[in-house]
Amino acid sequence: MSNEQGRVAVITGAASGIGRGLAEHAAGLGMQLVLADVDGPGLQTLCAQLQGQGAQAIAQVTDVSDVTQVERLRDVVLAHFQRVDLLFNNAGVMQTGYSWEISHEQWQRMLAINLQGTINGIRSFVPLLLKQGHPAQVINTASLAGLLSSPLMAPYNVTKQAVVALSETLQFELSMLGAQVSVSVLCPGPVASEIMASNQARDQAGTAFSAVLDDSIRQGMTPRALAAQVFAALAEQRFWIFPHKDFKPALELRLRSILEETNPQFQMIDVQGDTHAAR
Protein backbone atom coordinates (compact mmCIF):
# COMPACT_ATOMS: atom_id res chain seq x y z
CA MET A 1 0.00 0.00 0.00
CA SER A 2 1.27 3.49 -0.89
CA ASN A 3 2.23 5.78 2.00
CA GLU A 4 -0.11 8.31 0.38
CA GLN A 5 -3.12 5.97 0.51
CA GLY A 6 -6.04 7.66 2.22
CA ARG A 7 -4.40 11.06 2.58
CA VAL A 8 -6.61 14.00 1.60
CA ALA A 9 -5.48 16.60 -0.94
CA VAL A 10 -7.38 19.83 -1.62
CA ILE A 11 -6.52 21.42 -4.97
CA THR A 12 -7.77 24.77 -6.24
CA GLY A 13 -7.62 25.57 -9.93
CA ALA A 14 -7.96 21.82 -10.45
CA ALA A 15 -9.94 21.70 -13.70
CA SER A 16 -6.99 22.29 -16.02
CA GLY A 17 -3.25 22.85 -16.34
CA ILE A 18 -1.09 22.44 -13.25
CA GLY A 19 -4.08 21.72 -11.01
CA ARG A 20 -5.30 18.91 -13.23
CA GLY A 21 -1.82 17.38 -13.35
CA LEU A 22 -1.59 17.50 -9.56
CA ALA A 23 -5.03 15.89 -9.24
CA GLU A 24 -4.23 13.07 -11.65
CA HIS A 25 -0.93 12.34 -9.94
CA ALA A 26 -2.46 12.41 -6.46
CA ALA A 27 -5.23 10.07 -7.60
CA GLY A 28 -2.60 7.66 -8.89
CA LEU A 29 -1.06 7.63 -5.42
CA GLY A 30 -4.38 6.63 -3.87
CA MET A 31 -5.16 9.99 -2.28
CA GLN A 32 -8.66 11.22 -1.57
CA LEU A 33 -9.30 14.41 -3.47
CA VAL A 34 -11.35 17.57 -3.11
CA LEU A 35 -11.11 19.48 -6.37
CA ALA A 36 -12.05 23.15 -6.64
CA ASP A 37 -12.36 25.51 -9.62
CA VAL A 38 -14.66 28.17 -11.05
CA ASP A 39 -15.03 25.99 -14.15
CA GLY A 40 -17.90 23.77 -13.04
CA PRO A 41 -18.22 21.62 -16.20
CA GLY A 42 -14.45 21.11 -16.45
CA LEU A 43 -14.31 20.21 -12.78
CA GLN A 44 -17.12 17.66 -13.10
CA THR A 45 -15.47 16.09 -16.15
CA LEU A 46 -12.18 15.64 -14.29
CA CYS A 47 -13.90 14.34 -11.18
CA ALA A 48 -15.88 11.78 -13.20
CA GLN A 49 -12.69 10.70 -14.98
CA LEU A 50 -10.83 10.12 -11.72
CA GLN A 51 -13.79 8.37 -10.11
CA GLY A 52 -13.96 6.09 -13.16
CA GLN A 53 -10.36 5.14 -12.43
CA GLY A 54 -11.26 4.22 -8.86
CA ALA A 55 -10.27 7.46 -7.11
CA GLN A 56 -12.24 8.99 -4.26
CA ALA A 57 -12.80 12.51 -5.56
CA ILE A 58 -15.39 15.20 -5.06
CA ALA A 59 -15.84 18.50 -6.89
CA GLN A 60 -16.68 21.85 -5.32
CA VAL A 61 -17.14 24.87 -7.57
CA THR A 62 -15.16 27.62 -5.84
CA ASP A 63 -14.14 31.19 -6.63
CA VAL A 64 -11.01 31.52 -4.48
CA SER A 65 -11.31 35.32 -4.43
CA ASP A 66 -14.49 34.92 -2.34
CA VAL A 67 -13.55 34.03 1.24
CA THR A 68 -17.06 32.68 1.92
CA GLN A 69 -16.68 30.17 -0.90
CA VAL A 70 -13.24 29.09 0.32
CA GLU A 71 -14.61 28.59 3.83
CA ARG A 72 -17.43 26.52 2.32
CA LEU A 73 -14.78 24.45 0.52
CA ARG A 74 -13.10 23.76 3.85
CA ASP A 75 -16.42 22.72 5.38
CA VAL A 76 -17.11 20.35 2.47
CA VAL A 77 -13.71 18.73 2.97
CA LEU A 78 -14.39 18.20 6.66
CA ALA A 79 -17.87 16.82 6.01
CA HIS A 80 -16.58 14.24 3.53
CA PHE A 81 -13.12 13.31 4.79
CA GLN A 82 -12.70 14.85 8.27
CA ARG A 83 -9.08 15.84 7.58
CA VAL A 84 -6.69 17.64 5.20
CA ASP A 85 -3.14 16.52 4.49
CA LEU A 86 -2.18 18.63 1.49
CA LEU A 87 -3.57 22.05 0.56
CA PHE A 88 -2.65 23.24 -2.93
CA ASN A 89 -3.40 26.96 -3.33
CA ASN A 90 -3.03 26.77 -7.08
CA ALA A 91 -5.74 28.81 -8.81
CA GLY A 92 -4.44 31.70 -10.89
CA VAL A 93 -5.04 33.93 -13.91
CA MET A 94 -2.95 36.04 -16.30
CA GLN A 95 -2.94 39.67 -17.39
CA THR A 96 -0.55 41.31 -19.86
CA GLY A 97 -0.05 44.87 -21.04
CA TYR A 98 1.73 48.07 -20.09
CA SER A 99 1.42 48.67 -16.34
CA TRP A 100 -0.28 52.05 -16.79
CA GLU A 101 -2.73 50.79 -19.42
CA ILE A 102 -4.05 47.84 -17.44
CA SER A 103 -7.40 48.89 -16.04
CA HIS A 104 -8.30 49.21 -12.38
CA GLU A 105 -10.70 46.30 -12.76
CA GLN A 106 -7.99 44.09 -14.32
CA TRP A 107 -5.54 44.92 -11.54
CA GLN A 108 -8.15 44.15 -8.89
CA ARG A 109 -9.03 40.84 -10.56
CA MET A 110 -5.40 39.71 -10.52
CA LEU A 111 -4.94 40.73 -6.89
CA ALA A 112 -8.21 39.06 -5.89
CA ILE A 113 -7.51 35.68 -7.50
CA ASN A 114 -3.74 35.24 -7.52
CA LEU A 115 -2.97 36.81 -4.14
CA GLN A 116 -6.18 37.07 -2.12
CA GLY A 117 -7.12 33.57 -3.24
CA THR A 118 -3.95 32.23 -1.64
CA ILE A 119 -4.56 34.33 1.48
CA ASN A 120 -8.10 32.98 1.69
CA GLY A 121 -6.81 29.42 1.45
CA ILE A 122 -4.28 30.01 4.23
CA ARG A 123 -6.74 31.77 6.54
CA SER A 124 -9.44 29.15 5.99
CA PHE A 125 -7.32 26.00 6.24
CA VAL A 126 -4.20 26.61 8.35
CA PRO A 127 -6.10 26.82 11.68
CA LEU A 128 -7.60 23.43 10.80
CA LEU A 129 -4.19 22.00 9.87
CA LEU A 130 -2.76 23.16 13.21
CA LYS A 131 -5.71 21.79 15.17
CA GLN A 132 -5.49 18.36 13.53
CA GLY A 133 -2.24 17.55 15.31
CA HIS A 134 -0.70 15.53 12.49
CA PRO A 135 1.72 16.42 9.65
CA ALA A 136 0.26 18.45 6.80
CA GLN A 137 1.59 20.54 3.93
CA VAL A 138 0.59 23.83 2.30
CA ILE A 139 1.73 24.27 -1.29
CA ASN A 140 1.35 27.69 -2.89
CA THR A 141 1.72 28.00 -6.65
CA ALA A 142 3.82 31.03 -7.58
CA SER A 143 5.96 31.15 -10.73
CA LEU A 144 9.41 32.07 -11.95
CA ALA A 145 7.69 35.47 -12.12
CA GLY A 146 7.72 35.26 -8.33
CA LEU A 147 11.51 35.57 -8.50
CA LEU A 148 12.15 37.50 -11.72
CA SER A 149 10.24 40.41 -13.23
CA SER A 150 9.38 40.67 -16.91
CA PRO A 151 7.96 43.57 -18.90
CA LEU A 152 4.26 43.58 -19.84
CA MET A 153 3.42 41.24 -16.95
CA ALA A 154 3.16 43.65 -14.01
CA PRO A 155 0.05 42.21 -12.30
CA TYR A 156 1.35 38.67 -12.65
CA ASN A 157 4.82 39.64 -11.37
CA VAL A 158 3.34 41.55 -8.43
CA THR A 159 0.94 38.82 -7.34
CA LYS A 160 3.37 35.95 -7.75
CA GLN A 161 6.18 37.74 -5.90
CA ALA A 162 3.70 38.44 -3.13
CA VAL A 163 2.82 34.73 -3.00
CA VAL A 164 6.52 33.90 -2.56
CA ALA A 165 6.81 36.43 0.29
CA LEU A 166 3.63 35.13 1.90
CA SER A 167 4.88 31.55 1.67
CA GLU A 168 8.21 32.39 3.29
CA THR A 169 6.47 34.29 6.07
CA LEU A 170 4.07 31.40 6.70
CA GLN A 171 6.98 28.96 6.84
CA PHE A 172 8.77 31.15 9.42
CA GLU A 173 5.63 31.42 11.54
CA LEU A 174 4.87 27.71 11.53
CA SER A 175 8.51 26.96 12.40
CA MET A 176 8.29 29.40 15.32
CA LEU A 177 5.34 27.38 16.63
CA GLY A 178 7.06 24.04 16.11
CA ALA A 179 4.03 23.04 14.05
CA GLN A 180 3.76 19.83 12.07
CA VAL A 181 2.64 21.88 9.08
CA SER A 182 5.23 22.58 6.40
CA VAL A 183 5.11 25.00 3.47
CA SER A 184 6.31 24.77 -0.12
CA VAL A 185 6.23 27.34 -2.88
CA LEU A 186 6.04 26.10 -6.45
CA CYS A 187 7.85 28.33 -8.97
CA PRO A 188 7.55 26.78 -12.43
CA GLY A 189 8.44 28.17 -15.81
CA PRO A 190 6.17 27.43 -18.78
CA VAL A 191 3.72 24.59 -18.13
CA ALA A 192 1.30 23.56 -20.89
CA SER A 193 -2.07 25.02 -19.92
CA GLU A 194 -4.92 27.30 -20.94
CA ILE A 195 -3.97 30.12 -18.54
CA MET A 196 -3.72 32.63 -21.38
CA ALA A 197 -7.44 32.17 -21.99
CA SER A 198 -7.86 34.20 -18.79
CA ASN A 199 -5.89 37.13 -20.21
CA GLN A 200 -7.91 40.30 -20.80
CA ALA A 201 -5.35 42.24 -22.82
CA ARG A 202 -6.96 45.13 -24.70
CA ASP A 203 -3.97 47.18 -25.86
CA GLN A 204 -1.81 46.27 -28.85
CA ALA A 205 1.32 45.57 -26.79
CA GLY A 206 -0.49 43.26 -24.38
CA THR A 207 -2.28 41.40 -27.18
CA ALA A 208 0.89 40.86 -29.23
CA PHE A 209 2.91 39.79 -26.18
CA SER A 210 0.19 37.40 -25.03
CA ALA A 211 0.33 35.55 -28.36
CA VAL A 212 4.06 34.93 -27.91
CA LEU A 213 3.61 33.98 -24.28
CA ASP A 214 0.71 31.64 -25.11
CA ASP A 215 2.87 29.78 -27.61
CA SER A 216 5.68 29.41 -25.05
CA ILE A 217 3.26 28.11 -22.43
CA ARG A 218 1.60 25.61 -24.76
CA GLN A 219 5.03 24.17 -25.59
CA GLY A 220 5.99 23.98 -21.91
CA MET A 221 6.41 21.13 -19.49
CA THR A 222 3.41 18.83 -19.27
CA PRO A 223 1.31 19.10 -16.10
CA ARG A 224 1.92 15.41 -15.38
CA ALA A 225 5.69 15.84 -15.58
CA LEU A 226 5.49 18.84 -13.29
CA ALA A 227 3.27 17.00 -10.80
CA ALA A 228 5.80 14.17 -10.52
CA GLN A 229 8.48 16.70 -9.58
CA VAL A 230 6.18 18.43 -7.11
CA PHE A 231 5.33 15.26 -5.22
CA ALA A 232 8.99 14.20 -5.15
CA ALA A 233 9.84 17.56 -3.57
CA LEU A 234 6.99 17.25 -1.07
CA ALA A 235 8.28 13.85 0.03
CA GLU A 236 11.50 15.66 1.00
CA GLN A 237 9.57 18.61 2.52
CA ARG A 238 11.42 21.07 0.29
CA PHE A 239 10.26 24.68 0.54
CA TRP A 240 11.49 25.75 -2.89
CA ILE A 241 10.16 23.71 -5.81
CA PHE A 242 11.83 24.65 -9.10
CA PRO A 243 10.76 22.29 -11.92
CA HIS A 244 12.73 24.42 -14.41
CA LYS A 245 16.38 25.05 -13.58
CA ASP A 246 17.74 27.33 -16.32
CA PHE A 247 16.49 30.54 -14.69
CA LYS A 248 19.24 30.58 -12.05
CA PRO A 249 21.81 32.71 -13.96
CA ALA A 250 19.12 35.38 -14.40
CA LEU A 251 18.30 35.20 -10.69
CA GLU A 252 21.99 35.55 -9.81
CA LEU A 253 22.15 38.65 -12.06
CA ARG A 254 19.19 40.13 -10.21
CA LEU A 255 20.66 39.38 -6.79
CA ARG A 256 23.98 40.96 -7.79
CA SER A 257 22.12 44.05 -8.97
CA ILE A 258 20.40 44.30 -5.57
CA LEU A 259 23.56 43.73 -3.53
CA GLU A 260 25.68 46.05 -5.69
CA GLU A 261 22.89 48.65 -5.98
CA THR A 262 23.09 48.72 -9.77
CA ASN A 263 20.15 49.39 -12.06
CA PRO A 264 18.19 46.22 -12.93
CA GLN A 265 18.58 44.70 -16.38
CA PHE A 266 15.97 42.53 -18.03
CA GLN A 267 17.40 39.27 -19.32
CA MET A 268 15.46 36.85 -21.48
CA ILE A 269 15.76 33.27 -20.26
CA ASP A 270 15.33 30.11 -22.29
CA VAL A 271 13.73 27.78 -19.79
CA GLN A 272 14.16 24.13 -20.63
CA GLY A 273 11.95 21.30 -19.49
CA ASP A 274 9.60 18.62 -20.74
CA THR A 275 8.34 20.22 -23.94
CA HIS A 276 5.69 17.72 -24.98
CA ALA A 277 2.17 18.97 -25.52
CA ALA A 278 -0.28 18.73 -22.63
CA ARG A 279 -2.11 15.45 -22.26
Instruction: Please identify every residue annotated as catalytic.
Output: 156
181 CA to centre of own chain: 18
176-to-131, 164, 185, 279 alpha-carbon distances in Å: 16, 19, 18, 41
Query: Do residues 196 and 188 make contact, with C-beta atoms less than 8 angstroms apart?
Result: no
**262: which DSSP letter?**
P
Distance CA 67, CA 58 (A): 20
Query: Do residues 140 and 184 make contact, with C-beta atoms less than 8 angstroms apart?
Result: yes
Query: Do residues 148 and 192 make contact, with C-beta atoms less than 8 angstroms apart?
Result: no
Distance CA 161, CA 167 (A): 10
